[in-house]
């Protein structure tokens, strides 16, 4: 038997609270989501068992709909296609462990690393995985799971006991770069103030996120993306860019690329954000944009003595990445080091590779750290480091590889990138 509600709350509270915290980036009027511990518990109780019946269950219509969608849309697909491998029989992929419907539901929502993302449901790994050792979901199966995810989103958004706190910048129009150097009249820098974001009372005077942007079809290509600490600095977690079309629903970053991002920028300091270059697919360049945060508060001085993340597999960098960055690729007219080694001040400021030709590990580590900070380890192929010189990307980066040369370059560097991605 399931036991009492208090018992379930005690058992499920911790993982659901962590999920709740992750989703507090979104605001009520965006018609997006926040999953609270209490809300998820109620959805789990009613969506999987039918223990609570009719209109006396105390649920909103949205929560009642989520219950029905879990039972009839998502769970049958998961039982048919996924549960054989993901029921705990294989290590580290048991996101469908459970003796009953409730247990499976709660394992799925609380699983780490997440396979369900209610911030941007269509980016959830459970629907984007594609063909692997298991089958690829059909279009109808994908639609069924998304149907449930959207219902979960809406039910959480209508939870009257846990109003959503809006941690977001004001909507802003993006100034587009049409040519010239960043910061020039034809290539303006967008300065997005964090001062007006409703926080816990912390004053973030002078703090901002800045970038240059270029229109690439129906996408927004962002470069020189940095966080500036202003007077006293700031700390932020889980940054989410959201497009605000004038006549359509808000459109969040579909790969939620900054899901695991933690920014801790001291006063007077500037820090690149995940490499500083991103391609926001589906963001119409003429639409307004907002930037949301799970957490935004005062700068947190490091009192632990720990060092910032840096390169973890330097030997792999030396053998696979360093030569590709340092040397002229056969048939190409330049390498990354041609501009980023000090010869071009703007390029060196964007990514400093002045030590890329070094032989001492201490020097090579400096170059490795520069490159690593420009890799998006959530979706490595979307790293600004790869997007900028890719000939298939019509950005304003001054150097592009030929197609075959880019493939050679990326294949070599990827050996190190994947090693960094999985390194403890």
- DSSP track, 262-280: EEEEETT-EEESTTS-EEE
Average of per-residue pLDDT across 365-382: 83
Cβ pair 296, 204 in contact under 8 A? yes
Quick one: pLDDT band at residue 319, thresholds 50, 70, 90?
A: very high
Average of per-residue pLDDT across 242-271: 84
Q: Take residue 154 and report the two structure tokens written for it.
A: 């809406």
Rounded Cα distance between 284 and 174, Å, is: 10
**Average pLDDT value over all residues in the chain:** 76
C-alpha to C-alpha distances, 166 to 19, 196, 297, nearest whole angstrom: 17, 12, 14
Rounded Cα distance between 312 and 408, Å, is: 23
Rounded Cα distance between 152 and 154, Å, is: 5
Which contiguous run of DSSP H or E holds residue 223?
A: strand 219-228
Rounded Cα distance between 263 and 222, Å, is: 18
Cβ pair 391, 272 in contact under 8 A? no
Average of per-residue pLDDT across 199-223: 85
Would you say the C-alpha torsion 242, 244, 249, 254 has a positive or negative sign? Answer: negative
C-alpha to C-alpha distances, 170 to 110, 188, 270, nearest whole angstrom: 31, 19, 22
Rounded Cα distance between 116 and 83, Å, is: 15
pLDDT at 118 > cutoff 70: yes
Average of per-residue pLDDT across 229-256: 86
| pLDDT at residue 2, as a whole number | 31
Domains of the chain: 5-157 (no CATH), 172-297 (2.60.40), 314-422 (no CATH)
Q: What residues form DSSP beta bridges with 222?
A: 213, 278
Chain segment 296-313, per-residue pLDDT in tens: 888 888 654 444 567 888
Terminal-residue alpha carbon distance, the chain: 40
Rounded Cα distance between 347 and 349, Å, is: 5
| pLDDT at residue 159, as a whole number | 55
| pLDDT at residue 5, as a whole number | 30
Quick one: pLDDT band at residue 189, thresholds 50, 70, 90?
A: very high
* Backbone phi, psi, residue 151, to 5°: -65, -40
Strands (E), 27-67: none
Rounded Cα distance between 241 and 251, Å, is: 9
pLDDT at 211 > cutoff 60: yes
Quick one: pLDDT band at residue 171, thresholds 50, 70, 90?
A: very high
pLDDT at 191 > cutoff 70: yes
Chain segment 6-57, per-residue pLDDT in tens: 332 333 333 333 333 333 334 333 333 333 333 333 333 334 333 333 455 6
pLDDT at 119 > cutoff 70: no
Share of the chain above pLDDT 70, in %: 78
| pLDDT at residue 4, as a whole number | 32
Considering only 56-70, 101-115, 218-232, which range has the smallest mean pLDDT? 56-70
| pLDDT at residue 57, as a whole number | 67
Higher pLDDT, residue 395 or 28: 395
pTM of the model: 0.56
């Amino acid at each position: 038997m399931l036991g009492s509600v208090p018992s379930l709350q005690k058992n499920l509270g911790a993982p659901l609270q962590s999920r709740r915290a992750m989703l507090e980036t979104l605001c009520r009027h965006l018609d997006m989501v926040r999953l609270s511990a209490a809300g998820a518990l109620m959805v789990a109780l009613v969506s999987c068992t039918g223990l609570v019946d009719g209109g006396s269950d105390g649920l909103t219509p949205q929560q009642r709909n989520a219950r029905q969608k879990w039972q009839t849309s998502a769970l049958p697909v998961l039982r048919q296609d996924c549960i054989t491998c993901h029921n705990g029989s294989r290590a580290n992929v048991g996101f469908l462990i459970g003796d009953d419907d409730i247990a499976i539901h709660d394992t799925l929502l609380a699983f780490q690393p997440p396979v369900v993302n209610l911030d941007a449901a269509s980016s959830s790994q459970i629907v984007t995985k594609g063909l692997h050792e298991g089958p690829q979901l059909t279009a109808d199966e994908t639609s069924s799971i998304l149907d449930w995810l959207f219902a979960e989103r809406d039910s959480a958004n209508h939870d009257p006991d846990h109003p959503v706190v809006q941690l977001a910048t004001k909507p802003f129009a993006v100034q587009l770069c049409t040519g010239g150097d960043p910061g020039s009249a034809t290539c303006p820098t967008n300065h997005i103030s964090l001062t007006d974001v409703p926080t816990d009372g912390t004053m973030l005077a002078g703090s901002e996120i800045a970038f240059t942007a270029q229109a690439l079809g129906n996408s927004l290509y962002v470069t020189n993306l940095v966080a500036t600490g202003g007077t006293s600095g700031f700390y932020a977690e889980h940054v989410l860019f959201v497009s605000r079309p004038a006549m359509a629903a808000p459109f969040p970053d579909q790969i939620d690329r900054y899901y695991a991002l933690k920014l801790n920028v001291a006063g007077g300091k500037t820090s690149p954000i995940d490499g500083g270059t991103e391609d926001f697919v589906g963001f119409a360049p003429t639409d307004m944009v907002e930037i949301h945060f799970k957490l935004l508060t005062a700068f947190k001085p490091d009192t632990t003595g720990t060092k910032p993340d840096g390169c973890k597999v330097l030997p792999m960098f030396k053998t696979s990445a360093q030569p590709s960055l340092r040397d002229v690729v056969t048939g190409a007219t330049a390498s990354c080091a041609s501009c980023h080694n000090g010869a071009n001040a703007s390029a060196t400021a964007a990514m400093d590779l002045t030590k890329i030709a070094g032989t001492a590990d201490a020097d090579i580590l400096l170059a490795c750290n520069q490159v690593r900070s420009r890799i998006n380890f959530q979706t490595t192929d979307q790293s600004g480091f790869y997007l900028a010189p890719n000939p298939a990307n019509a950005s304003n980066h001054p150097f592009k590889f030929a197609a075959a040369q880019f493939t050679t370059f990326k294949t070599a560097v990827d050996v190190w990138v994947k090693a960094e991605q999985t390194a403890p």
